[in-house]
């Protein structure tokens, strides 16, 4: 049906149209809550009017055209008009805004700093914001923000130089220390050499900051320097195999039948330990490296962010495993097995920098010990640990793989609210 929606004429399926029997005050919190309660109540009772009506919700003007003239609030009710997203709109990264939280009556001015989680999943609506005093904070924008107002700057908005992924109690001192440790790691692994800027095509870099929890529950801030690979116009082969689920099941079944222990190895800064880079790639050093303005970094190793970084690391491990006398599984290039005197003595799987292995004592002494000496190892586990999101538990009864902790995080979705655009 064709629906007149304030000053808009839109095409809407009749099953999604409901008549609101009274007007409401959209400028007050009570008015908006009253409207939502009415909509939820009508949806539960199945009262849907299948006719053309004129909605009493008056949409705001197009915010892109009008917010420099007059303050227009973005709220859960007002974002139902045609030019808005179905869920509550979220400012773009780098945008400066004023917002009103649901727990405070005071407007706060912030700059949208970065995402605080992946675009899908539990933290999809989380954002990092930077306050005017330079401090950082992260929260769920849809859940915690009542309304927001965009602020235009004459010179536009600069793209952030770092992405912070949902870190609690972020301290600038700890962040600076984490960045310096990353730069030191680059130097220790011989990742780059400094060259004079002669107009070479150089890629920019960005910091990705995460908070990781150790097995003992202690949280550490990790800063990773990443090349912005999308700026690299050279076409390179980038495919890189990872162990399949079928191979992982077969691996566990074989180890259980032979009563071998299941072990994991996590490699530290894996990409920085790959073989020497063959092509010429230059980076613009980060400001934290304190380099001269006429200096570029010429890469000697593949780094995070480059299109072929994962493949380069895979080939490094593959070459090493074949050198150790292992054989690559024909149906899964990320799996290897090792024979000694015609008998299977060990198996090895890889998923980027996460290794899984099991075998005899001789396999550990001949092959695994060489891996530990060839690559710097960050963490090793056995019996009870996590591997690529799976919980692996081994005891006298055998080996169990489960995702119980992940299942506890899943929440039921109220489809009525989804239809209303409230989620």
Give residue-wise pLDDT tens across range 141-180.
888 887 777 775 544 444 555 555 545 555 677 888 889 9
Domain assignment of residue 160, yes or no: no
**pLDDT tens per residue, range 10-54:** 555 555 555 554 455 545 556 656 655 665 555 444 443 433 333
What 3-state DSSP class applies to 394?
strand
Domain annotation covers residue 6: no
3-state DSSP percent of the chain in helix, strand and coil, to 5: 25, 30, 45
110 belongs to a structural domain: no
Q: Are 135 and 196 in contact (CB under 8 A)?
A: no
User: Based on the structure, what is the number of domains in the chain?
Assistant: 1
What mean pLDDT comes out for the span 136-145?
A: 84
pTM for the model:
0.60
User: Is residue 351 one of the residues assigned to a domain?
Assistant: yes
Cα(101)–Cα(131) distance, integer angstroms? 14
Question: CA-CA distance, 392 to 47, in Å (whole number)?
Answer: 50
Can you tell me whether residue 177 is helix, strand or coil?
helix
Q: Residue 358: which domain range?
A: 178-405
The per-residue pLDDT for 132 is 84
Predicted pLDDT at 46: 46
Residue 59 falls inside a structural domain: no
Instruction: Give the per-residue pLDDT at 28.
Output: 57
| pLDDT range class, residue 365, cuts 50, 70, 90 | very high
Over the stretch 390-416, which tens digit does the pLDDT of each residue have?
Answer: 888 888 888 888 888 888 888 887 777
CB–CB of 182/263 below 8 Å?
no
pLDDT band at 329 (very low <50, low <70, confident <90, very high): very high
Q: Identify whether 327 is part of a domain.
A: yes
Residue 401 maps to a domain: yes
DSSP 331: T
Average pLDDT value over all residues in the chain: 76
Residue 338 falls within a domain, yes or no?
Answer: yes
């Amino acid at each position: 049906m064709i629906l007149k929606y304030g000053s808009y004429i839109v095409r809407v399926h009749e099953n999604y149209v409901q008549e609101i029997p009274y007007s409401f005050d959209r400028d007050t919190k009570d008015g908006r809550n009253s409207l939502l309660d009415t909509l939820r109540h009508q949806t539960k009772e199945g009262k849907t009017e299948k006719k053309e009506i004129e909605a009493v919700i008056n949409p705001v003007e197009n915010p892109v055209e009008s917010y420099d003239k007059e303050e227009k609030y973005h709220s859960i009710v007002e974002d139902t008009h045609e030019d808005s997203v179905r869920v509550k709109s979220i400012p773009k990264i780098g945008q400066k805004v004023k917002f009103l939280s649901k727990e405070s009556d005071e407007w706060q001015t912030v700059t949208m700093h970065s995402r605080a989680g992946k675009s899908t999943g539990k933290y999809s609506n989380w954002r990092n914001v930077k306050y005017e005093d330079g401090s950082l904070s992260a929260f769920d924008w849809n859940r915690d923000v009542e309304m927001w107002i965009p602020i235009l700057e004459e010179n536009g908005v600069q793209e952030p130089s770092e992405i912070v992924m949902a870190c609690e109690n972020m301290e600038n001192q700890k962040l600076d220390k984490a960045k310096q440790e990353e730069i030191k790691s680059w130097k220790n692994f011989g990742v780059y050499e400094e060259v004079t800027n002669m107009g070479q095509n150089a890629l920019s870099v960005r910091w990705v900051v995460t908070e990781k929890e150790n097995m003992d529950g202690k949280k550490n801030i990790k800063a990773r320097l990443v090349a912005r690979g999308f700026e690299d116009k050279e076409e390179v082969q980038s495919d890189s195999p990872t162990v399949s689920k079928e191979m992982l099941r077969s691996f566990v079944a074989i180890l259980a039948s032979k009563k071998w222990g299941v072990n994991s190895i996590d490699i530290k800064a894996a990409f920085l330990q790959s073989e020497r880079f063959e092509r010429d790639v230059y980076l613009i050093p980060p400001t934290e490296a304190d380099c001269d303005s006429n200096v570029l970094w010429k890469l000697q190793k593949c780094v995070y962010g480059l299109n072929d970084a994962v493949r380069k690391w895979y080939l490094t491990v593959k070459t090493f495993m074949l050198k150790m006398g292992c054989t690559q599984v024909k149906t899964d290039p990320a799996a290897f097995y090792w024979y000694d005197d015609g008998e299977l003595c060990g198996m090895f799987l890889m998923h980027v920098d996460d290794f899984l292995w099991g075998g005899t004592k001789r396999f550990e002494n001949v092959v695994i010990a060489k891996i530990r000496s060839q690559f710097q190892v960050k963490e090793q586990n056995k019996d009870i640990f996590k591997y690529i999101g799976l919980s692996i538990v081994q005891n006298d009864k055998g080996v169990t793989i489960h995702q119980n902790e992940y299942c506890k995080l899943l929440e039921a979705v109220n489809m009525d609210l989804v239809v209303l655009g409230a989620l």
